Amino acid sequence: MSTFQAPKGTYDLTPPRSATFLAVREAIAAPLRDSGYGYIETPGFENVELFARGVGESTDIVTKEMYTLTTKGGDQLALRPEGTASVLRAALEANLHKAGNLPVKLWYSGSYYRYERPQAGRYRHFSQVGAEAIGTEDPVLDAELIILADQAYRSLGLRQFRILLNSLGDKECRPVYREALQTFLRDLDLDEETRRRIEINPLRVLDDKRADVQKQLTDAPKLRDYLCDACKAYHEEVRALLTAAGVVYEDDEKLVRGLDYYTRTTFEFVHDGLGSQSAVGGGGRYDGLSEMIGGPELPSVGWALGVDRTVLALEAEGIELDLPYATSVYAVPLGEEARRVLFGVVTGLRRAGIAADFAFGGRGLKGAMKSANRSGARYALVAGERDLAEGVVQLKDMESGEQSAVPLTEIAAELAKRLG
C-alpha cells in the first residue's frame, strides 16, 4: 500500500470540497446555538465499558464494529462509535445536571469510528453534529430537537428528506411487548446469531434489513398496540407539536434505531436520493441511559446528523452552497521593495477583517496572476517600483478586468467599501 493513501474506509477532507463540509457543520450548529445549546467536546476514545453498557452489548456496533485497543497500562479503550454516551458521561463527570438549570442542553461536532464494510455513504470514519438535552422528560423538548434538525436541513436548501417517527414505549409497557415479540420471533426460521439477538434485544430484529427476515416479520406484534396510556399521550403530544410547527413527518411503527438505549420518541431523517444508505441522521429519547452507565435517573433526548451523508444529500439534489471565497484580495508584488510594502498592506488588511493572500516565492507577474485567479480573489493588488514611487498600487477587479491606481494610504478603505 502507498504511504500516501488513507486507511481503507476513511477519507481526507481537502480544499475546495472541505469548505462544503464546514458550511454543513455550521448550518446544523447554528439553530442549536440560537436555542440555548452549549458546545461540548469529548475525547476520541473512551473506556470500552461505557459503550458496552450504554450502546448495548447486543448491537452490531459493540459486537462487530468498535475499534478497541489495550493501553500499555492494560486499560481497554474504544474509539467512539457514537456521541451520546460520551456526552452524557462528560456531563455527569462535570456535574452539569447539579447546576440547577435542567435540561442541560449541549451540542457537539466530531469524528466517529466503526469497522463496517465501506460503501457509498458508509465509512469507517465519519463526521457528525449532535445535540443532547439532558435531565428533563418533556414532549416539547423532543419536538424542539426534531424541529431544529428540520430547520438546519431546510436552511441548506434540502427538500427531499423525510422524517420517520415512532414510540418505543417505556420501562412499564416495553417489557410486555418484548415478551410478546420474543414469543413470535422464536417460531421463525432465523439464523443462530439472530436467535441470540431475540433473547438479548428482540426489537433489534425488527431493524434487520435482510429481505427474507422482513418477509417473516409481516405479522409481528405491533408496539403501538402495547403502549401504555402515558406513552400514548406523550407520543400524541410530540406529534401534535410537530404538526403545529408545520413539520411534516411519517409514522413508522418498525423504526427502532440501532442502539439499545432509546425509549419513547425515536426518529430518523432519511433521504431517498442516497440509495440503501438513506439515513442522514436520527435520534430519540433515552430516559434510562444515565442509569445504565451508573449515573442517576436523568431522562434525556438527542440526535446526531451525519455531515458526510448530508453532503451526499446536497449532491443528490444538485444543491451548490453559496460559499464565500477564502480570499478576497490577492497581492502581487513586482520586486523586493514591493514585496516588503505589499506584505505590510496584506497584514493590515487581515487585521481589518479582510481575507487577503500574497504571491509567495518571488514569481513573475504571469505566474502570480494565475495564482490570484485560482485563489478566487475578487481583487488583485499589483505594485512595482514605479507604482511605489508614485505612492499607489494597482487595484484590479478580477471579474471585470478593470484596473485603477489607488493611493497606498487609501487602499484599506477602498477595499472595505468595495467588499461591503
Q: What is the pLDDT of residue 1?
A: 57
Q: Which of 86-95, 122-131, 269-278 has the lowest mean pLDDT?
A: 269-278
CB atoms within 10 A of CB 262: 27
CATH number of the domain bearing residue 382: 3.40.50.800
Is residue 215, in this structure, part of any structural domain at all?
no
Residues 124 and 244 in one domain: yes
What would the DSSP string read from start to end of 32-48?
Answer: HHTTTPEE----SEEEH
User: Do the beta carbons of residue 383 and residue 394 sit within 8 Å?
Assistant: yes
Q: In the listed set 316, 344, 361, which residue is the last one of a domain according to the structure?
A: 316
- Mean pLDDT over 67-77 rounds to 92
8 A C-beta contact, residue 41 and residue 108: yes
Residue 274 and residue 159 share a domain: yes
Q: What are phi and psi of 285, to 5 degrees?
A: -90, 140
**Cell digits of residue 13:** 477532507
CATH of the domain at 76: 3.30.930.10
Q: Are 310 and 334 contained in the same domain? A: no
Residues 269, 343, single domain; the answer is no
CA distance 105 to 107: 7
Q: What is the extent of the structural domain holding 307?
A: 17-173+227-316
Kindly state whether residues 122 and 248 are assigned to the same domain: yes
My answer on whether 377 and 266 are in the same domain is no
Residues 334 and 307 both lie in one domain: no
Lowest mean pLDDT, pick from 71-85, 96-110, 248-262:
248-262
The pLDDT, as a whole number, for residue 259 is 62
Residue 349 belongs to some domain of the structure: yes
Q: Could you tell me whether strands 356-358 and 329-333 are parallel, antiparallel, or unpaired per DSSP bridges?
A: parallel
Domain count along the chain: 2
Predicted confidence band of residue 16 (pLDDT cuts 50, 70, 90): confident
pLDDT of 58 > 60? The answer is no
In a domain, 355, yes or no: yes
Helix axis angle for 192-200 and 174-185, nearest 10°, is 160
* 353 lies in some domain: yes
Distance of CA 359 to the CA centre of its chain: 36
User: Are 59 and 148 found together in one domain?
Assistant: yes
Last residue of one domain, picked from the residues 259, 281, 316: 316
Domain boundary among 254, 285, 316: 316
pLDDT beyond 90 at 408 = yes
**Identity of the residue numbered 415:** L
5-19, 35-49, 234-248, 340-354: least confidently modelled range: 5-19
Give the pLDDT confidence score for residue 76 in this predicted structure.
92
Decide: 46 and 78 in contact? Cβ < 8 Å. Answer: yes
Catalogue the long-range contacts made by 290-297 (C-beta closer than 8 Å, 24 or more residues apart): 290/88, 290/92, 290/134, 292/53, 292/54, 292/261, 293/50, 293/53, 293/54, 293/85, 293/88, 293/89, 293/92, 294/53, 295/88, 295/92, 296/97
Q: What is the pLDDT of residues 289-298, one digit of tens each?
A: 898 888 999 9
The one-letter amino acid at 70: T
Mean pLDDT of the chain: 91
* 38 shares its domain with 157: yes
pLDDT higher than threshold 60 for residue 300: yes
pLDDT range class, residue 194, cuts 50, 70, 90:
confident
Instruction: Provide the pLDDT confidence category of residue 258 given band limits of 50, 70 and 90.
Output: low
Task: Pick the most confident of 80-84, 143-147, 204-208, 251-255.
Answer: 143-147
Q: Is the pLDDT of residue 147 over 60?
A: yes
Asked if residue 238 and residue 292 are part of one domain, the reply reads: yes
Asked if residue 321 belongs to a domain, the reply is no
| 203 lies in some domain | no
Q: For position 60, what pLDDT does the model report? A: 62
Over range 139-150, report the average pLDDT. 98
pLDDT of residue 19: 92
Q: Rounded mean pLDDT of 266-275?
A: 90
Strand order in the sheet with 379-383: 356-358, 329-333, 379-383, 392-397, 403-407
pLDDT digits (tens, 9 = 90+) for 332-363: 999 999 999 999 999 999 999 999 999 999 78
Choose among 338, 354, 347, 355: nearest CA to 391.
Answer: 338
Phi and psi at 106, nearest 5°, equal -130, 150
The pLDDT of residue 70 = 93
What is the pTM assigned to this prediction? 0.88
Would you say residue 137 lies in a domain? yes
Task: Tell whether 360 is covered by a domain.
Answer: yes
pLDDT of residue 346: 97
Is the domain of 254 the same as that of 387? Answer: no
Instruction: Give me the mean pLDDT over the 234-254 stretch.
Output: 96
Q: Which of 24-38, 93-107, 259-273 shows the lowest per-residue confidence on average (mean pLDDT)?
A: 259-273
Alpha-carbon distance of 286 to 55, in angstroms, equals 11
- What is the pLDDT, as a whole number, of residue 158? 96
Gap between the Cα atoms of 312 and 102, Å rounded:
36
Same domain, 272 and 365: no
